[in-house]
Every structure is written in C-alpha cells, then in structure tokens.
C-alpha cells in the first residue's frame, strides 16, 4: 500500500475528548479516495458508492502526523474498488482500516460510465518519452 498523503492533527480536527474527530478523518479518506480514483480513471465525475465496515483501531491527538494509504482492490466495469489504511506516521500504529471503498465513474448526466481501465497507471507512463 502506498501512503500518499500526510496530515498534521490541529486543534480544529479534535473532538471534545481531545482526540481526532472521526468524521474529519472519514472526510479526509473520502477526498483521498475520490482524488485517487479521478486520477486513475481520468474522469472528474467519479463518486463514492460504497464503504465497508469502518473500524477505528486507535486514535490520534494534537500534533500527531498521520498518513493515508490507498491500494486498488479491483478495477470493475464502471467501478474501482479500493482499500484504505490510516496510520500514525511516527509509531506506525494503525488508526483505521477500511477493506473496501467502491468509487463509480459517471457521465455528465450522472449515469454509470465504463472507465475502460484494467490496471494502475502512473502519470509518468501516460506522458510518454517526449
Ligand atoms: C487531475 C486532478 C483533477 C482534480 C479535479 C477535482 C475535481 C473535484 C471533484 C471532487 C469530487 C469529489 C467526490 C467526492 C466523493 C463524493 O462526495 S460523491 C457523493 C456521494 N455519492 C453519491 O452521491 C453517489 C450516489 N449514487 C448514485 O448516484 C448511484 O448509486 C450510482 C453511483 C450512479 C450507481 O448507480 P447503480 O444503479 O448502483 O449502478 P450499478 O450499475 O448497479 O453499479 C455501478 C457499479 O457499482 C458497483 N456497486 C453498486 N452498488 C454496490 C455496493 N453496494 N457495493 C459494492 N459495489 C457496488 C456495481 O457492482 C457496479 O460495478 P461495475 O460492474 O460497474 O464495476
């Protein structure tokens, strides 16, 4: 799994108990999954369809640095299934794991649109040699 994004936990990210607010973390994960999928599928009209069980294994507190990892589970027809792990950058302790996030590629009318992708592509490969 590649951990693309790091976040520094600030006061505005905390719940009243002084630990990382779960909703904030889910918003970051959703954005990460959306951006990853938009780039992979080369379609800005890509939406979150499904998230499997969410298991908060540990928390984070102010000043912690966390990192968000995404890995492809499966390229479907219009869908892209991902898995996600968020961990503490320093301790490597897992904060959350989501086994399946399904993103779906849509057309301008909001109907599913086959994306035609079968494997992870890297931007450098798309640019070619020129
Ligand atoms: C270069 C950089 C540019 C940057 C540029 C930035 C642009 C900045 C834009 C940011 C964008 C952010 C986006 C954020 C993410 C949201 O916030 S998205 C908002 C929340 N999500 C929604 O509103 C989606 C609402 N749902 C829907 O509209 C409809 O359910 C959908 C998505 C059109 C799908 O309709 P449907 O009838 O279920 O379609 P269906 O054909 O049955 O299924 C489609 C696929 O989903 C799969 N699926 C359906 N249900 C399930 C399920 N329960 N479990 C698993 N898979 C399922 C199916 O198996 C199928 O897979 P494929 O066989 O095609 O591979």
Is 129 inside a domain boundary? no
Is 101 inside a domain boundary? yes
Distance CA 107, CA 121 (A): 21
pLDDT band at residue 122, thresholds of 50, 70 and 90? confident
Distance CA 36, CA 77 (A): 17
Residue bearing the CA closest to ligand 1, atom 2: 39
CA of 34 to the centre of ligand 1 (A): 10
pLDDT band at residue 124, thresholds of 50, 70 and 90? confident
Is 123 inside a domain boundary? no
Residue bearing the CA closest to ligand 1, atom 30: 49
Is 124 inside a domain boundary? no
Count how many domains the chain has: 1
C-alpha 1: how far from chain center: 11
Q: pTM to 2 decimals?
A: 0.92
CA of 26 to the centre of ligand 1 (A): 17
> What CATH number has the domain bearing residue 21?
3.10.129.10
Q: What is the CA radius of gyration of the chain?
A: 16
ipTM value, please give it.
0.90
Average pLDDT over residues 17-35: 97
Domain with 12, as residue range(s), is: 2-118
CA of 60 to the centre of ligand 1 (A): 30
CA of 101 to the centre of ligand 1 (A): 10
Tens digit of each residue's pLDDT (9 = 90 or more) over 43-54: 999 999 999 999
CA of 45 to the centre of ligand 1 (A): 9
Average pLDDT over residues 55-72: 96
Tell me: pLDDT of 130 over 60: no
Average pLDDT, the chain: 95
Is 113 inside a domain boundary? yes
Distance CA 18, CA 12 (A): 10
Tens digit of each residue's pLDDT (9 = 90 or more) over 75-100: 999 999 999 999 999 899 999 999 99
Distance CA 57, CA 96 (A): 6
Residue partners of 47: CB distance under 8 A and separation at least 6: 34, 103, 104, 106
Which residues does ligand 1 sit against, CB inside 6 Å? 30, 34, 38-39, 44, 47-50, 76-79, 102, 104, 106, 110, 112
């Amino acid at each position: 799994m590649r951990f693309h994004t790091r976040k520094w936990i600030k006061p505005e990210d905390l719940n009243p108990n002084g630990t990382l607010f779960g909703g904030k973390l889910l918003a970051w994960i959703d954005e990460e999954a959306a951006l990853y999928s938009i780039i992979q599928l080369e379609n800005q009209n890509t939406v979150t369809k499904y998230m499997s069980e969410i298991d908060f294994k540990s928390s984070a507190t102010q000043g912690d640095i966390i990192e968000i990892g995404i890995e492809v589970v499966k390229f479907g027809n219009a869908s892209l299934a991902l898995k996600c792990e968020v961990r503490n950058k320093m301790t490597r302790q897992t904060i959350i794991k989501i086994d399946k996030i399904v993103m779906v590629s849509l057309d301008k009318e909001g109907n599913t649109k086959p994306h035609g992708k079968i494997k992870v592509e890297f931007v450098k490969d798309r640019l070619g040699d020129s």
